Structure 1
Amino acid sequence: MLATEDTFETAIWALLHFKTLVLAAVTFMLLAHYLKTQRPKNYPPGPWRLPFVGNLFQLDLEQPHVVIQQFVKKYGNLTSLDFGNIPSVIITGLPLIKEVFTNMEQNFLNRPITPIRKRVFNNNGLIISNGQTWKEQRRFALMTLKNFGLGKKSLEQRIQKEADCLVEAIGEEKGQPFDPHFKINSAVSNIICTFAFGERFEYEDSHFHELLRLLDEATCLEASMMCQLYNVFPSIIQYVPGSHQTVLRNWEKLKLFIYQMMESHRKDWNPDEPRDFIDAFLTEMSKYGDKTTTSFNEENLINSTLDLFFAGSETTTNTLRWALLYITTNPEVQEKVHSEIDRVIGHGRQPSTDDRDSMPYTNAVIHEVLRMGNILPMNVPREVTADSTLAGFHLPKGTMVLTNLTALHRDPKEWATPNTFNPEHFLENGQFKKRESFLPFSLGKRACPGEQLARSELFIFFTALMQKFTFKPPINEKLSLKFRNGLTLSPVSHCICAVPRH
């Protein structure tokens, strides 16, 4: 009997001892985390945050940029939030945005590299690389874009030809309801494909469709909670099933496609006659041999090409999808665009960027789509590279910086009807009017390198579609302006009717 009691007491004591150890370990971890993440004096104000996950559970991941506006109203134009264990500040208002990206840009040049981005890109490519790699890759991409026609008639002719293909593909729907997503995506992606790979793909190409699907899925899922948790606990979450596994798998498949393209190019590559971006990159690589002091290597060829494919497809595609949606839900605007096209271009010739100055209303509509579509609501993140002071607040090195483009583009002090689609925002006495508080392509040294290409594509594709079709909602259906959140904001899936104009 005594032996049984001793065994029982020993078991109880062992259990209590184990619980005490666990409690002590958890207490130590929380204390260590608190000391590690303790904010300095004069740090921007913000909502309370939880250990490890920060403010993640206070954000609605379906519309985080909307929830952020509530925090900004409460805490001001410099608001602190923690995305997991990443300390961040939200910058709101044109004066502060200009201060950061013009006067103080040297302290805000870097991109933050989250675990999921590190796993996929590892400081390579164009978008999230930093330092020498970023400088070399951006300079090379801009130079190569110009060498292959950016700003020249040859590239414009390629866009016009692709616009013809898109018009033909949509015409095949014969005015019946259809989802324009992948037709538009195919057309836009083909422009960057001719530049990057030296070829375009047919819209029915199943391999091409799969690439676009992988990219669309990865772009959407990367904003999911599992991806956010992966960024907080990568060593644990990497073993758990979830959307993060799909994202990582998709990016690897896309990288494999670029790798296969690179190997195919090598077979008939002529360094004296580059056909496209991959050829030009191979030529640049050959200048350096095996030197490790340069970023011109296979890894950067793959990642820079993938960045071009992503950036050159996703944002312009979503802008055009928003354009058709806003035009369809605002028939009086569509009628004015049709009138201007009929007057300036007519039906017999293709639209050209030379027409833009003669078409202020159409130009204003495209700008209003960019404002209302809000493709990148918090811009592409930056990172503080050295301890800095902004608006009297201290920003430690390593802080992530998000630019509140949502608030800028919906500021009632700047826009007469901030929450309503209204092309008059960009018109004055019938002429197109530039707006300082309009920054969809960002500004500064890390502004979108493809802005000129995107503007040309938007004008030619949109005007060509409007020249040939009247867009209407399906009978007895009200179209939704709801968005799908991801790396970019896109319209939820929808069908429209493209009725030929005669």
Structure 2
Amino acid sequence: MEIIGATTLLLIVCIVFIVLSITQARKGKSKGKLPPGPTPLPILGNLFQFTGKDVFKSLYKLGEKYGPVYLLHMGMDPVVVLCSCDAVKEALISNAEDFGARGHMPLLNRITCGGQGVVGSNGERWKQLRRFSLMTLRNFGMGKKSIAQRIQEEAQFLMNELRKSKGQPLDPTFYFSKAVSNVICSVVLGDRFEYEDKDFLTILGFMNEIFKGFSSIWGQVYNLYPNVMDRIPGPHHKMFKAIDGIHEIIKKHVKRHKETLDPNDPRDFIDCFLIKTEQNASIRRLTTSLEGIGLRV
């Protein structure tokens, strides 16, 4: 009886997989011509095509086989992969209106607090944030010669740090990461950090953990089954702790900026964002008040 029960269960599973395979294939045909790609498994898609810890290496190898534009299935969802500079340029620059929107990605939503910010937002919100961010960064020297002074100053700090090795072999990766991050921090947070500053090292550690988790197979599986992955243990929870840690650090900096904010003398990107937010809130309050007395803006 136990053998019959096991056989029946196996038969049901096989039938379900066959039905799902046929359904998935029909969906692909109904959507018109799609780029080539590896054959997906039912439910799991091409999950087993990712080998090793680095997902990007697996994607690159698939690009060598199927070309610069190919199709993968992340679970039941089809995903078109662009695997060359020319393909990315054609999609995001030449056809920006068609390819500018962000698809649903649970992991990105978690990092960006539900799709906020330039990276995670879409539509009109994204256009306004992008416009504001570019204008603000340019005002602080990004893309201009004035940013060169910040870079040159940081280069001196980097050279002093490298001299401490006294000619001994070292891995310069983390040193360059500190230097680049400090230039960004000087624009966004208004100040640079000493290379051994505990808060600075904590921020870099969190960012490294987030990027490592995002590019791992655990991160990709989370995008497929977020509700399940939230409830099971695994390395992806280190990434979530890092995300929460970054959010707490940013909240502390925003709080300090609010306490010392001078609307007439913005010091960095956070100051400009707080000022812009207050201006928008004032406009909304004024509009609401005028509408309350029967006037329209």
How would you bin the TM-score normalised by the shorter chain? 0.7 to 0.9
Offset of 1:112 from its aligned partner?
2.4
Does structure 2 conserve the Cα–Cα contact (< 8 Å) formed by 1:101 and 1:108? yes
- Indicate if the aligned counterparts of 1:115 and 1:230 stay in contact, CA closer than 8 A: yes
In the other structure, the counterpart of 1:123 is 115
| Post-superposition CA distance 1:87-124 (Å, at most 9, x none) | 12234667755543444331111122311112221211
Q: How does 1:198-213 map to 2 (within 5 A)?
A: 198-213=190-205
Match in the other structure for 1:354: none
Aligned residue runs from structure 1 range 74-473, under 5 A: 74-91=65-82, 97=88, 99-121=90-112, 122-289=114-281
Query: Are 1:84 and 1:228, in contact at CA under 8 Å, matched by a contact in 2?
Result: no
Query: Partner of 1:39 in structure 2?
Result: 28
Q: Give, as a single letter, the amino acid of the residue that structure 1 aligns with 2:257.
A: H
Query: What are the ranges of 5 or more consecutive residues in structure 1 without an aligned counterpart?
Result: 1-11, 293-502
Q: d(CA) in 2 for partners of 1:51 and 1:142?
A: 43
Instruction: Give the structure-1-normalised TM-score.
Output: 0.50
Q: Could you report, residue by residue, the CA deviation over 1:228-274 in whole angstroms, capped at 9, with x for unpaired residues?
A: 22111111111111121111110111011001100111111111211
1:13-92 equivalent positions in 2, closer than 5 A: 16=5, 24=12, 27-28=15-16, 31=19, 35=23, 38-40=27-29, 41-68=32-59, 71-72=62-63, 74-91=65-82
- Runs of 4 or more consecutive aligned structure 1 residues displaced over 6 Å after TM superposition: none
Higher relative contact order (CA 8 A, sep 6+): 1
What CA distance in whole angstroms lies between the structure 2 residues aligned with 1:148 and 1:22?
A: 64
**What letter corresponds to residue 267 of structure 1 in structure 2?**
E
Q: CA deviation at 1:70?
A: 5.0
Residue 48 of structure 2 aligns with an amino acid whose one-letter code is F
Identity between Structure 1 and Structure 2 (%): 34
Distance 1:278 1:96, change over 3 A: closer
Q: Describe the shift of the 1:19–1:123 C-alpha distance in structure 2 as closer, same or farther (beyond 3 A).
A: farther
Is residue 162–residue 191 contact of structure 1 (8 Å, CA) maintained in 2?
yes
Letter in 1 for 2:243: W
**Residues 95 and 284 of structure 1: is their aligned pair in 2 closer, same or farther, counting only changes over 3 Å?**
closer
8 Å CA contact 2:28, 2:34 repeated in 1: yes
Q: Residue type of the partner of 2:152?
A: Q
Contact 1:224/1:243 (8 A) holds in 2: no
Tell me if structure 1 keeps the 8 A contact 2:47–2:75: yes
Residue 244 to residue 64, structure 1, CA distance change in 2 (3 Å)? closer
Residues 21 and 41 of structure 2 are in contact (CA less than 8 Å); yes or no, is this contact kept in structure 1? no
Q: What is the distance in 1 between the residues matched to 2:212 and 2:264?
A: 40
Once the two structures are superposed, residues 155-197 of structure 1 have per-residue CA deviations (whole angstroms, 9 ceiling, x without a partner) of 2212111111111111111111223233222221111111111
Q: CA RMSD, aligned part only?
A: 3.0
Q: Distance in 1 between matches of 2:89 and 2:111?
A: 31
* 1:26 Cα deviation from its structure 2 partner: 8.1
Partner in structure 2 of residue 500 of structure 1: none
Deviations 1:40-61 (A, max 9, x none): 2422222111122211212224
CA distance in 2, matches of 1:163, 1:255: 29
What do the CA deviations read for 1:298-356 (whole angstroms, capped 9, x no partner)?
A: xxxxxxxxxxxxxxxxxxxxxxxxxxxxxxxxxxxxxxxxxxxxxxxxxxxxxxxxxxx
Corresponding letter in the other structure for 2:191: E
Once residues 154 and 96 of structure 1 are traced to their aligned partners in structure 2, the CA distance between those partners, rounded to angstroms, is 33
- The answer to whether the Cα contact below 8 Å between 1:159 and 1:191 also exists between their aligned partners in 2 is yes
Deviation (angstroms), 1:73: 5.0
Contact 1:45 1:79 in 2 (8 A): yes
Query: Structure 1 202/102 Cα, relative in aligned 2: closer, same or farther at 3 Å?
Result: closer
1:205 to partner: Cα distance: 0.7
Separation in 2, partners of 1:52, 1:209: 41
**Could you say if the C-alpha distance between residues 234 and 26 of structure 1 is closer, same or farther in structure 2, counting changes exceeding 3 Å?**
farther
Query: Contact 2:20–2:43 (CA<8 Å) still a contact in 1?
Result: no
Equivalent residue pairs, number: 279
| Alpha-carbon distance, 1:207 to partner | 1.7
**Superimposed CA distance per residue, residues 5-49 of structure 1 (whole angstroms, 9 cap, x where no aligned partner):** xxxxxxx69x94x99689758855873575367302422222111
Structure 2 partner of 1:449: none
Q: Is the 8 A contact 1:113 1:123 kept in 2?
A: no
Q: 1:169 to 1:126 in 2, by over 3 A?
A: same
Q: Give 1 or 2: higher helix fraction.
A: 2
TM-score by length of 2: 0.82
Query: Separation in 1 of the partners of 2:199 and 2:14?
Result: 50
* Secondary structure of residue in 1 paired with 2:39: coil
